[in-house]
Amino acid sequence: MGRYVIRRLLQLIPVFIGTTFLVYVLVWALPGDPFAGMCKSTCPPEFRQAMIEKYNLDENIFVQYFTYLGNLLQGDFGTTYSDREVGELIEAAAPVSITLAAIAVGFEALIGVTAGILTGLRRGSFIDNLVLVSTLVVIAFPVFVIAFVVQLVLGSWLDIIDLTVSSDPSFTELLAPGFVLGSLSMAYVARLTRTSIAENRRADFVRTAVAKGLPQRRVVGVHLLRNSMIPVITFLGTDLGSLMGGAIVTEGIFGINGVGGLVYSSILSKEGTVVTGVVVLLVIVFLITNLIIDLLYAVLDPRIRYE
C-alpha cells in the first residue's frame, strides 16, 4: 500500500507539470498583447517594460514557467497587474465555491443515490422508467437553461429565492444555485447507482447472502449497497473537485463571487497569474481526490489490494 501511494504520487508529478505548463503557455505565450486587458488605452512604454520584467516575459517560455513554478512551490502565487496577491484573491473566493460544490454534491448524493437505489431494486417498474426518462431530460438541458428556469420559477414567479445571492452568501442562499450546479451530476449518479445495484444484485455474494437466509433488509443494506456504492463514491469525489472550478456558468448567473467567477473574469481581462494560479490549484485538487478515491477503493472493496 505504502509503495503504491508513493508510486502514484510520483506519477502525479509529470501530470501536474504538464497541465500547469499547458495552461501557462496558453495564457502567456500566445499571440496578442498580454497587457491589452489592463491598459484600456495603450500602456505607457515604461510601464510595459516594468511589467515585462516583473513577469519575466523577455525570457523564453520554459524559464518563465519554471521560475513561476519555483515561486509557486514556495507558496507565492504571484501578483496581479494591479499588484494584488493572487493567493489572497483565491483565498477570498474559495470558501463560497467549496460550499457551493459541497451543496451540489450533497444534492447529488441525496437525490441521485435515492433515485438510483429505488430504480435499481425495481428494474422495469414504473418508477424505474420515470427516473430513467427524467434523468435523460435533465442531461439534455444545458446547465444555464436549468439555472434560468430555476431563477424564473423560484425567483420571479414564486418569489421563494432571490435572483442573486448577497455578497457574503449564507448556506440557505446557496441551496438553489447548488441544486442547479448539481443537477446534471444528479442524473448521472442516479443512473450509475441504478446500474451498479442492478449488476451487483446478480453477483455471487448477494446470492450467497440470500441463500444464507439473511433478511432482505440486511442483504440490501450491508451487502448490496455497500458494494454498489463504490463507483458512486468515485464519481462524487471527482465531481467535488471538478465542480469547484466548473461552476463558472452557475456562479455567473447567480452572481456568486467564487473561484469560477474569478477565473472567468481573469481570463477575459488576461490576468495570467490569476488564471494559472487557479488552474494549478484545481489540478492539485483533482489529482489528490483521484488518488484518495483510488485508495478508498481498497478500503471499500476487499477484492482490491494494492501492492
Partner 1 sequence: MSDPTMAAEGVPAGQTGDYITAAEHATGTKEKTRSLWSDAWHDLTRRPLFVISMAVIAFLVVVAIFPSWFAEENPRLRDLDRARIGPNVPYLATVLAIIGSGITVIAAILATVGKLRDGVSRKMAPYVAGIGGVLLLAGGLINSVTLYLVIGALVFACGVVSGVPKVSRLLRGNAGTWGVVALLAVAGGAGLFIALDDLSTVEVGAAFGYDQQGRDIYARVVYGTRYTLLVGFSATLLTVLIGSLVGILSGYFGGWLDSLLSRIGEVFFGLPFVLGAIVILSAFRSAGFDSAPAIVAMVVMSISVLSWPVSMRIMRSAVIAAKQQDYVKAARALGASSARIIFRHLLPNCLAPVLVYATIALGAFIGAEATLSFLGIGLRDPAVSWGVMIADSRDYIRASPLLLIFPASFLTLTVLVFVTIGDAVREALDPKLK
Partner 2 sequence: MRRPRWMAAVALVPIVALTLTACGGDDGAGEAADSKITVSGTAPENPLVPGNTSEAGGGKIVEVLYSGLMRYDSDTGEPVPEHAEKVDVSEDGKKITYTLKKGWKFHDGTEIKAEHYVKAWNYTAYTPNAQQHSSFFVGVKGYEDVTSEDPDGDGPKKAPTPKKKEMSGVKALDDYTLQVEFDKPMPAFQYKVGYSAFMPLPDAFFENKEAFEKKPIGSGPFKFVKQTANSIVLERFEDYQGPKKPSIKTVEFRFGTPEADYDAVRDNNLDFLNNMPPKALVDNVWQQDLKGRSGPSGNLSIQELSFPLYDPKFKDPNLRKAISMAIDRQQISDKIYGGSRTPVKGYGVPNLPLWEDGACGELCEHNPEKAKELFDKTDWGNKPIEITSNADGGHKEWIEAVCGQIEDALGVECKFVPVQEFGVIREMVNNREMTQIYRAGWGADYPHVENFLNPIFRTGASSNDNGYSNPKVDAKLAEADATVDDEEAARLYHEAEELIAQDMPVIPLWSNPYIAGWSERLENVKVDKLTGELDLLSVRIKSED
Applying CB under 8 A, the site for partner 2 has a residue count of 39
CA angle 123, 127, 131 (to 5 degrees): 95
Q: Which residues pair with 79 in a beta bridge?
A: 85
Cα dist. 236→99, 107, 108, 134, 242 in Å?
Answer: 15, 11, 8, 20, 10
- Supply the minimum distance, in Å, between the C-beta of residue 217 and partner 1: 26
CB of 19 to partner 1, least distance (A): 4
Closer to partner 1 by CB, 190 or 220: give it: 190
Residues in contact with partner 2, shown as a per-residue x/- string from 86 to 125 under the rule CB under 8 A: --xxx-xx--------------------------------
Using CB under 8 A as the criterion, what x/- string covers residues 152-191 for binding partner 1? x---x---------------------------xx--x--x
DSSP class of residue 41? S
For partner 2, the binding residues in 151-180 under the rule CB under 8 A are 162-167
Residue 307 found at the interface with partner 2 (CB under 8 A): no
Task: Decide: 120 and 195 in contact? Cβ < 8 Å.
Answer: yes
Nearer to partner 1, 39 or 214 (CB): 39
Site for partner 2 in 216-275 (CB under 8 A): 252-255, 257, 261-262, 268, 270
31's CB contacts (< 8 A; 6+ apart) are none
The set of residues, in sequence order, having a beta carbon less than 8 Å from that of 113 and lying 6+ positions away, is: 189, 190, 193, 229, 232
Residue 85, φ and ψ in degrees, nearest 5: -70, 125
Residue 164 CB, shortest distance to partner 2, in Å, is 4
**For residues 63-92, which are near partner 2 according to CB under 8 A?**
81-84, 88-90, 92
- Choose among partner 2, partner 1, none what residue 93 binds, the Cβ cut-off being 5 to 8 Å by kind: partner 2
Distance between CA atoms of residues 142 and 191, nearest Å: 18
* 136 interface partner picked from partner 2, partner 1, none, CB below 5 to 8 A per type: partner 1
Question: Could you tell me the CA-to-CA distances from 162 to 93, 142, 159 in Å, in that order?
Answer: 21, 22, 7
CB of 139 to partner 1, least distance (A): 5
Residues 225-244 that bind partner 1 (CB under 8 A): 231, 234-235, 242
* Residue 104 one-letter amino acid: A
283 near partner 1 (CB under 8 A): yes
Q: How many CB atoms lie within 10 A of CB 80?
A: 19
DSSP per residue, 160-229: -S-SS--SS--TTTTHHHHHHHHHHHHHHHHHHHHHHHHHHHTSHHHHHHHHTT--HHHIIIIIIHHHHH
Out of 4, 16, 47, 66, point to the residue binding partner 2 (CB under 8 A): 47
Residue 296 CA to residue 306 CA, distance in Å, equals 11
34: left (phi over 0), alpha (psi -120 to 50) or beta: alpha
Position 80 contacts partner 1 (CB under 8 A): no
Name the site residues for partner 2 (rule: CB under 8 A): 32-33, 35-47, 81-84, 88-90, 92-93, 162-167, 252-255, 257, 261-262, 268, 270
Give the footprint of partner 1 on this chain (CB under 8 A): 11, 14-16, 18-19, 22-23, 26-27, 30-32, 36, 136-137, 139-145, 148, 152, 156, 184-185, 188, 191-192, 195-196, 198-199, 231, 234-235, 242, 245-246, 248-249, 252, 260, 263-264, 267-268, 275, 279, 282-283, 286-287, 294
